[in-house]
Structure 1
Amino acid sequence: MVLEETCLVTAPHHGHADGYRPPAVTGLHDLIDAQAGRRPRARALLVGADRAPVSYGTLAALAGELALQLRAEGLRPGRPVGLVSGNNLEFVVALLGAARAGLVVAPLDPTLPEPERQACYTALGVQAVLTGPPAAIQRPASPEVPAATLGGPAYWPLTVARGNDGQYAVTLAAGAAPLPGGAAHGAATELTGEDALALFTAGTTGRAKTVPLTHTNVAASVRSIAACYRLTPEDATVAAMPFFHGHGLLAGLLTTLASGGCVLLPERGRFTAHTFWDDMRAASATWYTAVPTIHDILLQRAPQEYCGSRVLPLRFARSCSAPLAPATARALEHLLDAPVLSAYGMTESTHQAASEPLSAPPGRTPGSVGRPAPVRVRVLDAAQRPCAPGTEGEIWVQGPTVARGYLTDPEATAAAFHDGWFRTGDLGRLDPEGRLLLTGRLKNLINRGGEKISPELVEEVLTAFPGVTEAAVFAVPDPLYGQCVGAAVVLGRGSTSTDYDLLAHCRSRLAPYEVPDRLAIVLSLPHTAKGTLNRRAVADLYGSR
């Protein structure tokens, strides 16, 4: 049992730009140790309907308790364990507790169909799957059923509850399901004691891959993100992004905890638009990070729900995982009275590889994601020769956060990883000052009779039209040109624009071959679990119409 103490909250101030020191962590296993030792009563999390504070001392004790239970159940260090839960206290305790036990944690989306989740975990060779709320996730009827009869690993429900006496307790229902014994199997054979996480790529343009990230990768990423935004114990945020992807896990959760700040976990364990600003106010949040889709939703609802910059004086907002439309960035900065900083990252670089700085001036260049850190970046042409500043090419990254490859996929590893460099598949250019500008993605390019068209460029033009809230551009098969340009557009409430209006707007700003040959106004577009546009699903839905 862990006694919850009254959490201390300090008044916000940020006069630390010159003498800032990133958190001294070496991996996921010691992420909160310094905070728990120096500031055990400070709030680490706000949880539940009543937004109850959980201190660093309590969180460390809960993680330690779970680590003992996991070891007692026979889980072997250096082997993977699954984690399926919403953004809640159970997820955080499971993550930190498993890391303390020396396990490699593999989070997955709770909404994935059960066969898909079982297939991922069976291929990885996990020893068991820790599960937390929401209760709606599909799991075997009983943890007593042997995993082998279900075609996958055993599910172990985990609960963290606070009693009337103020004490927290963690309970693991491990049951009697046998674990895979003997030598490691599946992708687990390629893991070592240096590994902290096994993350699954989004897989929206192809088969998802499994990326092993070491404790060194995690520590370098956390230190770099914290330094970029000067995060300290005086900062707080709300978890808008899911923890089973790098964006929410590394930037939203782990960097905040390592820096000694506070993370509010929404009551439902996921982003909810109608409670977001109330949550931000309850946390006294100084920043948040999200995908462009969430920024758009918040903008649309702001007239009714935003509490105002005097009530919530944010230092900045962050956007990552997809390009942020310049019009959205400008509107959001006007609303928040704070800078909106675009960042660039991917699973293979342990999330962030570049970001605009806090000092970024207004009127920034569209597509800019600032200077790379902690990685080095080079932009290469099709012959893998360096491009001159301002010339578009493929972005490659190298540095302490770059993974070593993909598990059990030597062909994909050989294609993407070269002498410590990772081929991102993204298109961009470096300006003379060393800032990185994103222009598209190689796999997304549309080839219209030999003319290469960037869907992202056409989407940027479409979303700049008044009343357009979202746009998706995709290739449509064409007997004459091979491919032509298709577009699906979502209009905001009250907009009366037509497809003729939108096409006229495009003709005035794009080359003739870039103007959509087919344009549909739709009610909504499909997104991935982390909120980014699902291009494969968009093409399936609208590409044959």
Structure 2
Amino acid sequence: MAVPTAASVRDADGYRPPTVTGLVDLLDRQVRERPYARALVVTGDRVHLSYRALGAAADDVAARLAGTGLRRGDAVGLVGANTAEFAVALLGAARAGLVAAPLDPGLPESQLSARLEALGARAALLGPAAAAVPLPVPAWPVRVNVSRAGTAEVELAPGAPAAPHVRGASGELSGQDALVLFTAGTSERAKMVPLTHTNVAASVQAICATYELGPDDATVAVMPFFHGHGLFAALLASLASGGCVLLPERGRFSAGTFWDDMRVVSATWFTAAPAIHEILLDRSEREYPGPQAPTLRFVRSSSAPLNTATQRALERTFGAPLLSAYGMTESSHQATSEPLTGRGLLKHGLVGRPTGVEVRVVDRSGRACPVDVEGEVWVHGPTVARGYLGDREGTSSTFVDGWLRTGDLGALDEDGYLSLTGRINNLINRGGEKISPEHVEDILAGCPGVAEAAVFAVPDPVYGQRVGAAVVVREGESVEAEEILRYCRDRLAAFEVPDRLELVAALPYTAKGGLDRKAVQARYAP
């Protein structure tokens, strides 16, 4: 019997997203129907790892975890970059009935320890990129040796049983849970978001359906797997739909090897944060391979707003539609997206329509706003988490009758497309005038010669706050601060024009790919 290709899945009777119930059975159909198809391309030698080999390695991890004293619903940390070890450990932990909490291997020891303790993890699985630092729970290195023939041998020998008694929020977890993701922030401010297997399945199916992902698709993992963007959109959606993911050498994005990686895997799409898109665009004149580049069905942008000028420039350069998506950790990543070409209107500057969820824009009293009227964005549906672990106050203020209060400001147009205008907590109050930093940043980014910008509040004894801006000039361009301010005066209200503008070499970003506003404020506002 012939195995359906991505094209046949898309063309016959409409697209059908993969049937999965969570992380446990994410690979099952592919292992059963397409065991020798490539699932991952790994290591510097770009070795193909088949679905059969990936599934067997995950089963091996699950079997080795069975004798450690861990019980169904227990939490384990997963510290690693975008490597085969991460994928194998994640799927293996799920098959063992455990709840995995991905963590950035670049976090300092104090923050790793704080997050593991707050969670109440009973052990931590460490990938190759994880530093050998003391942790408050048993740490078990995971290694996956992939041969040139595509076989995978797992090394996981726990030297000590799981911690018998732990404090933290893990008592709120159960066997229905699949993941705990940490929101962006410091160890003191980051919140723990529990996601069930049902949340995972709904998210993966919505992403696959939005972009009609199938076995003919391939991508390069750009965003880190320890956040929802890379985890759900690149890794899990690709594996569930039978596609292929190339994991860059050392598990980190490299602009210098990106296009060669894309060519090797015959990529049909990729997803990244705007900061990565800006890097690729800035280097495109000397690095984009043009006719030798793989033919892309689409390019996706998420994790932060992408200005319209950059979006159009990327489309011209890559010869593919660039689709903006919006979501949060609390919504299992994606909540809205621009549609594929031919499946709906492309409205640049907006983040598309709801994908598998309901989106509402409400006023301060919780009433739905009319079309094109700004309010807070609320999300409801099967991808929305039940709340935060160990944070009743945060849960009660953010989750209301099944609705997620995102804290984002936006509006819905007559076609149900969402536009975002900023974060409620980011608004600058200049003498009573409320200013959206994101709006000013979008205008600044449209100025010729400007690569990116960050807008922040400057304390002021008269107005309370004034508008400050840090601007990065595009490589090879020459533009002065006064030229940028003249550009702003023609496009912004007088109170929105930056009172202070500084040209800087680079801006700080979080590991998730978003602008690190706390670091910007600390660095440039004083």
For normalisation by structure 2, the TM-score amounts to 0.96
C-alpha displacement of 1:469: 0.7
Provide the secondary structure at the position in 2 that maps to 1:384: coil
Partner residue in 2 for 1:276: 258
Distance 1:116 1:56 in 2: 35
Check conservation: 1:12, 1:235, Cα contact below 8 A. no
Q: Tell me the equivalent position of 1:147.
A: none
The amino acid across from 2:133 in the alignment is R
Q: Percent identity?
A: 61
CA distance in 2, matches of 1:415, 1:366: 32
Change (3 A) 1:362 1:293: farther
Tell me: CA distance 1:324–1:218, structure 2 relative to 1, closer, same or farther (3 Å).
same
Q: Post-superposition shift, 1:330?
A: 0.4
CA contact under 8 A between 2:338 and 2:351: conserved in structure 1?
yes
1:43-442 equivalences under 5 Å are 43-134=38-129, 137-140=131-134, 152-163=136-147, 167-176=151-160, 178-181=161-164, 185-203=167-185, 207-309=189-291, 311-359=293-341, 364-442=346-424
CA drift of 1:494 comes to: 2.0
Aligned residues: 524
Change (3 A) 1:206 1:512: farther
- Describe the superposition over 1:29-65 as per-residue Cα deviations: whole angstroms up to 9, x where unpaired: 1101110011000000000111100000000000001
Helix, strand or coil for the counterpart of 1:118? helix
Instruction: Determine the C-alpha separation between the residues in 2 that align with 1:473 and 1:207.
Output: 22
1:281–1:312 Cα contact (<8 Å) kept: yes
CA distance in 2, matches of 1:330, 1:54: 36
Q: CA deviation at 1:206?
A: 8.1
1:497-520 Cα offsets, whole Å, 9 max, x none, are: 111001000000000000000000
Name the counterpart of 1:499. 481
After superposition, what is the alpha-carbon deviation per residue over 1:358-389, rounded to whole angstroms, capped at 9, x for unaligned?
02799954431111121111111122221100
Matched-pair contact (CA < 8 Å) for 1:204–1:536 = no
Match of 2:32 in 1: 37
Determine the C-alpha separation between the residues in 2 that align with 1:199 and 1:70.
Answer: 21
- Kept in 2, the 8 Å contact 1:204–1:528? The answer is no
2:49–2:150 Cα contact (<8 Å) kept: no
SS where residue 268 of structure 1 aligns? helix
Specify every segment of 5 or more residues in structure 2 that has no aligned partner in the other structure, as ranges.
none
Q: Which residue of 2 aligns with 1:481?
A: 463
Amino acid at match of 2:153: A
Q: Deviations over 1:12-42 (max 9, x none)?
A: 7885275210000000111011100110000
Structure 1 residue 331 displacement after superposition = 0.4
What residue in structure 2 maps to residue 3 of structure 1?
none
Name the SS of the counterpart of 2:249 in structure 1: coil
- Determine the C-alpha separation between the residues in 1 that align with 2:409 and 2:187: 16
Give the distance between the partners of 2:357 and 2:344, measured in 1 at CA: 25
How many Å separate the matches in 2 of 1:513 and 1:43? 55
Say if 1:487 and 1:518, in contact at 8 Å, map to a contact too: yes
Please say if residues 205 and 535 of structure 1, whose CA atoms lie closer than 8 Å, have aligned partners that are also in contact.
no
RMSD value over aligned CA atoms? 2.0
Asked if 2 retains the 8 angstrom alpha-carbon contact of 1:9 and 1:42, the reply is no
Q: 1:166 to 1:263 in 2, by over 3 A?
A: closer
Q: Which digits, 9 at most, give the CA deviation of each residue in 1:68-97, with x for residues without a partner?
A: 000122221101010011100000000000
SS of the aligned residue for 2:339 comes to coil
Partners of 1:166 and 1:447 lie apart in 2 by 58
Residue 17 of structure 1 contacts residue 230 of structure 1 at CA under 8 Å; is this kept in 2?
Answer: no
Name the aligned partner's letter for residue 139 of structure 1. Answer: V
CA contact (8 A) 1:64 1:100 kept: yes
Partners of 1:236 and 1:16 lie apart in 2 by: 18
Q: In structure 1, give the amino acid aligned to 2:164.
A: G
Q: TM-score, structure 1 length as denominator?
A: 0.93
CA gap of 1:205–1:300, structure 2 versus 1, over 3 A, is farther
For residues 283 and 382 of structure 2, what CA distance do their matches in structure 1 show?
A: 40
CA distance 1:512–1:156, shift in 2 (3 Å) = same
Spell out, residue by residue over 1:254-282, the C-alpha distance to the aligned partner (whole angstroms, 9 max, x if none).
00000000000001201000000000000
Which residue in the other structure is 1:5 paired with?
Answer: none
Instruction: Tell me, yes or no, if the aligned pair for 1:28 and 1:219 is still in contact at 8 Å.
Output: yes
Residue of structure 1 aligned with 2:426, choices 444, 457, 464 = 444
Q: What letter corresponds to residue 53 of structure 1 in structure 2? A: H
